[in-house]
Amino acid sequence: MYHRLSAVLFPVMTLMFIGSIYWGYQEHQEKNSILIKAENQYQRAFHDLSYHMEQLHKELGSTLAVNSTSQAYQRKGLVNVWRLTSQAQNEINQLPLTLLPFNTTEEFLSKIANFAYKASVRDLSKQPLSEDEYKTLKTLYKNSDEIAGNLLNMQSKVLANNLRWMDVESALATETSAQDNTIIDGFKTVDKKVSEYPELNWGPSVASMYQKRSVKMLGGKKMTAEEIKKLAAEFASIKDPSAIRVVENGKGTEYESFSVSAPMAGSDRMIQMDFTKQGGKLIWYMNPKDVAASKITVDQAEKNATQFLNAHGYKGMKLTNYDEFNNVVSFTAVGSQQGVLIYPEKLIVKVALDDGEVTGLQANDYVYEHHKRKIAKPKLSAAAARKALNPGFERTNEGLAIIMNDLGKEVLCYEFSGKINGGKYRIYINADNGTEEAIELLPK
């Protein structure tokens, strides 16, 4: 009996053993294939980064070499600088450097890209490069040469020693082995040198992009937790303030705020709010709920959103856009002054389409941008601004609006809404010089 049983089981077990070996071999081959593919992608991104940084240095040199009156070539050079810097940023993002402090170099490249873009999009014949901008370009030319040289030095070591990027990934995951990795040390050296560069004059348009909002920008006194509790109770119509929980965030920093949570009356839901400590401004409100189906129209939801804004002190806001998702509609509301829409001064209101209840409010932009503006009269008439529109554009509405342009400046524009090529658009024409400042595609 045992002889028969072994005669049957032995070949079966042998086949299973051979099968497991084959399966393991296949898994090993697939794993090696994935590792080789990842290694090739890392190598390509690194060598492309080194090449594009060298090309960036040459392009900056060419832009500086031409006569100051050659605005066409300067524009071409600046566009190429922006393109090459953007490519270099993309290649850095493809490398396994998430655990490595390389953010200083990334921010530096980002500022170069924005500096080149904002200089190239303006009319250089009317507003040529300033003396400060030339100084900035000369400094960038020198700095890019050093960065490119360091990367080329790293590249030669990678090729000479046949270094692998997969080892970098392993080294970053293990702090003990990360100390003597040639590639990691090379990137740390680059980032350290970039951090030591003196701060450049990037100009107000670029500097404004990296200006962080903080409580110092706000007026009013610093609020206490008890004062915030009262404000939250008033905003959410909570009769029992003792049920409200207030937590202070970022104490002693530039981002001091209070987070508020409170049970909603007659429900097991928790209302969430954030207030600034300086001035006690509401920057975020959420009343989460599951919305199973739509029972009201968007028009009814719009009325509810407007009533909510008026009831909570956001008077004069105009709903300009909406987006519907999961039976909740999000309205974008902007401020207005003297009949002019103020787009930087915006907030978002969310309304549930089952019963029209407001489920959210995002007021961060409104808090930091809401102030009285001195609005000058437009130099162009609406009729003159219409001449800048495409002849095929079918206008449905027009008015004045203040928007933020590509240079980070507020500009007064004529806002034209209409249709063309089967789509709905808003086109913003500068009210002083007739140039197209922005085009926005609207949801159907």
Q: What is the DSSP string of 123-184?
A: -TTTSPPPHHHHHHHHHHHHHHHHHHHHHHHHHHHHHHHT--HHHHHHHHH-GGGSSS-HHH
φ, ψ dihedrals at 317, nearest 5°: -80, 145
Q: What is 176-201 written as a DSSP string? A: GGSSS-HHHHHHHHHHHHHHTSPPP-
CB 334 within 8 A of CB 317: yes
pTM of the entire predicted model? 0.68
Ordered by start, the domain boundaries in the chain are 14-210, 217-369, 382-442
Q: How far is CA 439 from the centre of its chain?
A: 19
**Secondary structure (3-state) at 432:** coil
Mean pLDDT of 332-359: 93
**pLDDT: which is higher, 315 or 27:** 315
Which residues face 56 on adjacent strands?
A: none
Chain segment 112-153, per-residue pLDDT in tens: 888 888 888 888 888 888 888 889 899 999 999 998 888 888
Q: Is 323 helix (H, G, I), strand (E, B) or coil?
A: strand
The answer to whether 172 touches 99, Cβ cutoff 8 Å, is: yes
Q: Which helix (H) or strand (E) holds 86?
A: helix 71-93
Q: Judge contact between 429 and 418, C-beta under 8 A.
A: no
Rounded alpha-carbon distances, angstroms, from residue 158 to 162, 181, 420: 6, 11, 54
Main-chain dihedrals φ then ψ at residue 11, nearest 5 degrees: -65, -35
The yes-or-no verdict on residue 204 having pLDDT over 80 is no
- What local confidence, expressed as pLDDT, does residue 346 receive? 93
388 alpha-carbon distance from chain centroid: 31
Residue that has been written with the tokens 């070539």 in this structure = 73
- Residue 137 and residue 118: Cα distance in Å, rounded? 13
pLDDT (tens digit per residue) in 257-280: 899 998 877 677 888 999 988 889
Which of 282, 306, 302, 303 is closest to 233 using CA atoms?
A: 282
Find the helix packing angle between 182-195 and 103-121, rounded to 10°. Answer: 50
C-alpha to C-alpha distance for 244 and 234, rounded to whole angstroms: 11
Angular region, 268: left φ>0, alpha ψ -120 to 50, beta rest = alpha
Q: 82-115 pLDDT, tens per residue?
A: 999 988 888 888 887 765 667 788 888 888 888 8
pLDDT one-digit tens code per residue, 392-444? 999 999 999 999 887 778 999 999 999 998 889 999 999 999 989 889 888 76
Give the pLDDT of residue 114. 87
d(CA 249, CA 283): 14
**172 pLDDT exceeds 90?**
no
Closest CA to 222 of 252, 242, 243, 244: 252
Query: Using CA atoms, how far apart are residues 331 and 154, in angstroms rounded to an integer?
Result: 51
| Class of residue 11 by CB neighbours under 10 A (exposed 0-12, middle 13-18, buried 19+) | exposed
User: Average pLDDT of 375-385?
Assistant: 93
CA distance 322 to 353: 13
**pLDDT score at 42:** 81
Q: How far apart are the first and last CA of the chain?
A: 79
